[in-house]
Amino acid sequence: MTELIDAVVEQTEKKFAATLDVLRDTMGNLAERFRNIEILITSTEERLEFNLKALAKAKELDALRTQARESGHRIEMRIATIEHSLDQMEHALEKLVAKIDPPPLPDPVLSKPVYELEISVRPHHCLELEGIKTIGDLVKKTKRELMRMPNFGKHSLREVEEALAVMNLQLRQPD
Protein backbone atom coordinates (compact mmCIF):
# COMPACT_ATOMS: atom_id res chain seq x y z
CA MET A 1 0.00 0.00 0.00
CA THR A 2 2.83 2.28 0.56
CA GLU A 3 3.65 1.89 -3.03
CA LEU A 4 0.15 2.88 -4.00
CA ILE A 5 0.26 5.90 -1.76
CA ASP A 6 3.66 6.87 -3.10
CA ALA A 7 2.35 6.50 -6.68
CA VAL A 8 -0.75 8.65 -5.88
CA VAL A 9 1.44 11.25 -4.14
CA GLU A 10 3.87 11.25 -7.05
CA GLN A 11 1.00 11.55 -9.55
CA THR A 12 -0.56 14.33 -7.45
CA GLU A 13 2.80 16.13 -7.27
CA LYS A 14 3.13 15.89 -11.06
CA LYS A 15 -0.40 17.22 -11.53
CA PHE A 16 0.32 19.93 -8.96
CA ALA A 17 3.59 20.84 -10.75
CA ALA A 18 1.78 20.88 -14.12
CA THR A 19 -1.02 23.02 -12.66
CA LEU A 20 1.60 25.28 -11.08
CA ASP A 21 3.33 25.62 -14.50
CA VAL A 22 0.00 26.46 -16.13
CA LEU A 23 -0.69 29.02 -13.40
CA ARG A 24 2.79 30.53 -13.87
CA ASP A 25 2.24 30.75 -17.65
CA THR A 26 -1.20 32.25 -17.07
CA MET A 27 0.27 34.72 -14.57
CA GLY A 28 2.96 35.65 -17.12
CA ASN A 29 0.34 36.14 -19.81
CA LEU A 30 -1.78 38.19 -17.43
CA ALA A 31 1.24 40.29 -16.46
CA GLU A 32 2.01 40.89 -20.15
CA ARG A 33 -1.62 41.83 -20.80
CA PHE A 34 -1.59 44.12 -17.76
CA ARG A 35 1.56 45.89 -19.09
CA ASN A 36 -0.12 46.29 -22.51
CA ILE A 37 -3.22 47.68 -20.82
CA GLU A 38 -1.05 50.11 -18.80
CA ILE A 39 0.66 51.26 -22.01
CA LEU A 40 -2.73 51.66 -23.71
CA ILE A 41 -4.11 53.60 -20.72
CA THR A 42 -1.02 55.84 -20.63
CA SER A 43 -1.27 56.48 -24.38
CA THR A 44 -5.00 57.19 -24.06
CA GLU A 45 -4.39 59.53 -21.12
CA GLU A 46 -1.73 61.40 -23.12
CA ARG A 47 -4.05 61.74 -26.12
CA LEU A 48 -6.89 62.84 -23.86
CA GLU A 49 -4.63 65.43 -22.20
CA PHE A 50 -3.48 66.66 -25.64
CA ASN A 51 -7.11 66.90 -26.85
CA LEU A 52 -8.11 68.76 -23.69
CA LYS A 53 -5.27 71.24 -24.23
CA ALA A 54 -6.27 71.64 -27.88
CA LEU A 55 -9.89 72.20 -26.84
CA ALA A 56 -8.81 74.81 -24.30
CA LYS A 57 -6.71 76.58 -26.97
CA ALA A 58 -9.67 76.46 -29.39
CA LYS A 59 -11.96 77.98 -26.75
CA GLU A 60 -9.32 80.63 -26.03
CA LEU A 61 -9.04 81.36 -29.76
CA ASP A 62 -12.83 81.64 -30.08
CA ALA A 63 -12.89 84.03 -27.12
CA LEU A 64 -10.16 86.13 -28.78
CA ARG A 65 -12.07 86.15 -32.08
CA THR A 66 -15.25 87.25 -30.30
CA GLN A 67 -13.30 89.93 -28.46
CA ALA A 68 -11.75 91.12 -31.75
CA ARG A 69 -15.18 91.28 -33.43
CA GLU A 70 -16.56 93.26 -30.51
CA SER A 71 -13.54 95.58 -30.56
CA GLY A 72 -13.92 96.03 -34.32
CA HIS A 73 -17.59 96.87 -33.86
CA ARG A 74 -16.74 99.37 -31.13
CA ILE A 75 -14.06 100.92 -33.35
CA GLU A 76 -16.53 101.18 -36.27
CA MET A 77 -19.07 102.82 -33.98
CA ARG A 78 -16.42 105.26 -32.73
CA ILE A 79 -15.38 106.09 -36.31
CA ALA A 80 -19.02 106.72 -37.24
CA THR A 81 -19.40 108.99 -34.21
CA ILE A 82 -16.25 110.91 -35.14
CA GLU A 83 -17.38 111.24 -38.78
CA HIS A 84 -20.76 112.53 -37.62
CA SER A 85 -19.04 115.04 -35.33
CA LEU A 86 -16.80 116.16 -38.20
CA ASP A 87 -19.84 116.64 -40.45
CA GLN A 88 -21.52 118.76 -37.77
CA MET A 89 -18.34 120.80 -37.26
CA GLU A 90 -17.99 121.31 -41.03
CA HIS A 91 -21.60 122.48 -41.25
CA ALA A 92 -21.10 124.86 -38.31
CA LEU A 93 -17.88 126.17 -39.90
CA GLU A 94 -19.69 126.81 -43.19
CA LYS A 95 -22.33 128.81 -41.31
CA LEU A 96 -19.63 130.86 -39.56
CA VAL A 97 -17.82 131.55 -42.81
CA ALA A 98 -21.09 132.58 -44.44
CA LYS A 99 -21.70 135.07 -41.61
CA ILE A 100 -18.16 136.46 -41.68
CA ASP A 101 -17.63 136.48 -45.44
CA PRO A 102 -20.89 137.06 -47.32
CA PRO A 103 -21.02 135.69 -50.86
CA PRO A 104 -19.71 138.10 -53.49
CA LEU A 105 -22.28 140.17 -55.28
CA PRO A 106 -22.74 139.18 -58.92
CA ASP A 107 -20.69 141.16 -61.41
CA PRO A 108 -23.13 143.45 -63.25
CA VAL A 109 -21.32 142.84 -66.54
CA LEU A 110 -21.65 139.05 -66.19
CA SER A 111 -25.35 139.45 -65.43
CA LYS A 112 -26.04 141.25 -68.72
CA PRO A 113 -27.94 139.30 -71.37
CA VAL A 114 -25.94 138.10 -74.40
CA TYR A 115 -28.16 140.07 -76.77
CA GLU A 116 -26.38 143.21 -75.48
CA LEU A 117 -23.17 141.97 -77.13
CA GLU A 118 -22.36 143.69 -80.39
CA ILE A 119 -22.47 140.55 -82.55
CA SER A 120 -24.46 139.47 -85.60
CA VAL A 121 -27.76 137.57 -85.55
CA ARG A 122 -26.33 134.09 -86.30
CA PRO A 123 -24.11 133.90 -83.14
CA HIS A 124 -26.96 135.39 -81.05
CA HIS A 125 -29.34 132.75 -82.34
CA CYS A 126 -26.84 129.89 -81.74
CA LEU A 127 -26.20 131.05 -78.16
CA GLU A 128 -29.93 131.29 -77.46
CA LEU A 129 -30.53 127.76 -78.78
CA GLU A 130 -27.82 126.44 -76.46
CA GLY A 131 -29.42 128.14 -73.43
CA ILE A 132 -26.61 130.69 -73.00
CA LYS A 133 -28.57 133.69 -71.72
CA THR A 134 -26.01 135.89 -69.90
CA ILE A 135 -22.46 136.99 -70.56
CA GLY A 136 -21.56 135.05 -67.38
CA ASP A 137 -22.93 131.86 -69.00
CA LEU A 138 -20.92 132.64 -72.13
CA VAL A 139 -17.52 133.13 -70.43
CA LYS A 140 -17.91 129.70 -68.74
CA LYS A 141 -17.66 128.07 -72.19
CA THR A 142 -14.48 127.16 -74.08
CA LYS A 143 -13.80 127.82 -77.76
CA ARG A 144 -14.21 124.09 -78.46
CA GLU A 145 -17.63 124.01 -76.76
CA LEU A 146 -18.83 126.95 -78.84
CA MET A 147 -17.46 125.46 -82.06
CA ARG A 148 -19.45 122.26 -81.43
CA MET A 149 -22.73 124.20 -81.52
CA PRO A 150 -24.67 123.86 -84.79
CA ASN A 151 -24.16 126.77 -87.25
CA PHE A 152 -21.49 128.34 -85.03
CA GLY A 153 -18.30 128.70 -87.06
CA LYS A 154 -14.95 130.48 -86.97
CA HIS A 155 -16.47 133.81 -87.97
CA SER A 156 -19.06 133.62 -85.14
CA LEU A 157 -16.31 132.64 -82.69
CA ARG A 158 -14.17 135.63 -83.75
CA GLU A 159 -17.13 138.00 -83.30
CA VAL A 160 -17.84 136.68 -79.77
CA GLU A 161 -14.17 136.86 -78.73
CA GLU A 162 -13.86 140.45 -80.01
CA ALA A 163 -17.06 141.53 -78.23
CA LEU A 164 -15.81 139.98 -74.97
CA ALA A 165 -12.37 141.59 -75.37
CA VAL A 166 -14.02 145.02 -75.49
CA MET A 167 -15.38 144.25 -71.98
CA ASN A 168 -11.96 142.88 -70.81
CA LEU A 169 -13.41 139.35 -70.73
CA GLN A 170 -12.54 136.11 -72.48
CA LEU A 171 -13.81 132.56 -72.91
CA ARG A 172 -12.80 129.86 -70.40
CA GLN A 173 -9.48 128.23 -71.14
CA PRO A 174 -9.51 124.43 -71.58
CA ASP A 175 -8.27 122.45 -68.57
For residue range 19-58, list pLDDT tens digits in order: 777 778 777 776 787 787 777 777 777 777 877 776 777 7
Give the pLDDT confidence score for residue 122 in this predicted structure.
Answer: 94
Whole-number pLDDT of residue 144 = 94
Looking at domain 108-166, its CATH architecture is Orthogonal Bundle (1.10)
Q: Residue 134 forms beta bridges with which residues?
A: 113
Percentage of the chain exceeding pLDDT 90:
33
pTM attached to this predicted model: 0.41
Q: Are 138 and 102 in contact (CB under 8 A)?
A: no
Please provide the average confidence, as pLDDT, over all residues in the chain.
Answer: 82
Delimit the domains of the chain by residue range. Answer: 1-103, 108-166
Tell me the pLDDT tens digit for each residue of 155-169.
999 999 999 999 999
